[in-house]
Copies of this chain bind each other. A is one copy, B any other.
């Protein structure tokens, strides 16, 4: 297997497993009796926080190595995992630029009424190390698209991935449990990359990053452990190229 060169990637977008720790065997039902299908795949199962931390440190270390000094890394998460991930990123010397809040507008309500509705995910945006000042940030473009005002870390409001964009199998079952919306990844690439840049997604899943990168004329590399998702992503990308 060919090894990535050091300092070779312009932008990394990572949506790692969230380590949700849902209790086994419990079912959450909506008021109409229908069942909420949880993320219960093997790739989100870890024995302990320690195992999750070790997994996290390993892939982050690799990402930091291949990231250019002018590049940036984006890591998504929710409260289950993002604090552990962020702490490990800091320990590795990655230097935070912002934590951006993706506010959803149609998230699932809290059925048990014992907490606030989970209506956001957090994106940590960082450079390779503290000394990296010359990173790509398309400030003027974002400002223009934001009514002439500087973009804020709370200005990212997009719907979750649903409707025709959501990939489903022949039975209508969603093909990937955590497919991310195209607009979210588009915003990441428009913020911090240029035409011709190399984009890496170490958890490619259904291939959203690849599709967006292709559409915006960025080069891309995706990594995915589950063979069925690699096939899914390949089909999706081929479809996109043909129908465009």
Partner of A99 from the list B79, B152, B153 (CB cut-off 8 Å) is B79
Q: Which of A113-164 contact B (CB under 8 A)?
A: 113-120, 122, 124-125, 133, 137, 139, 150-155
Contact size range, A: 35 or more
A-B contacts, 12 of them at CB < 8 A, read: A98-B118, A101-B101, A101-B103, A101-B154, A113-B150, A114-B133, A116-B152, A117-B150, A117-B151, A117-B152, A118-B153, A119-B154
Number of copies of this kind of chain in the complex: 2
Task: Tell me the nearest residue of chain B to A151, going by C-beta.
Answer: B116
Q: Which B residues are CB-close (under 8 A) to A87? A: 83-84, 86-87
Across the interface, which residues of B come within 8 angstroms of A86, CB to CB? 79, 82-84, 86-87
Q: Which A62-106 residues have a C-beta within 8 angstroms of B?
A: 78-80, 82-87, 89-91, 96-101, 103
Q: Determine whether A110 belongs to the interface, using a CB cutoff of 8 Å to chain B.
A: yes
Confirm or deny: A109 has a beta carbon within 8 angstroms of a beta carbon on chain B: yes
A49 at the interface (CB under 8 A from B): yes
- When C-beta atoms are compared, the residue in chain B nearest to A119 turns out to be B152
Contact A79/B101 with A49-B90, A116-B152, A150-B110 known, Cβ cut-off 8 Å = no
Cα distance, A70 to B170, chains bound together (Å): 47
Contact at B98–A115, with CB atoms within 8 Å? Answer: yes
Task: Determine if B83 and A101 form an interchain contact, defined as CB atoms under 8 angstroms apart.
Answer: no
B84 close to A90 (CB less than 8 A)? yes
Q: Mark A15-31, 1 if CB is under 8 A from B, else 0.
A: 00000000000000000
Looking at the assembled complex, report how far the CB atom of A49 sits from the nearest CB atom of chain B, in whole angstroms.
7
Q: 8 smallest A-B Cβ distances: which pairs?
A: A83-B86, A119-B152, A87-B87, A79-B99, A117-B152, A116-B153, A119-B154, A98-B116
Nearest CB on B from A205, distance (A): 23
Q: What's the minimum C-beta distance from A226 to chain B, rounded to whole angstroms?
A: 27
Task: Digitize A29-61: 1 where CB-to-B-CB distance is under 8 Å, 0 elsewhere.
Answer: 000000000000000000001000000000000
**Which residues of B have CB within 8 Å of A155?**
116, 119
Q: Find chain B residues with CB under 8 A from A79 CB.
A: 86, 96, 98-99, 124
Cβ–Cβ contact B100 & A116, under 8 A: yes
A110 to B142, CA, bound (A): 14
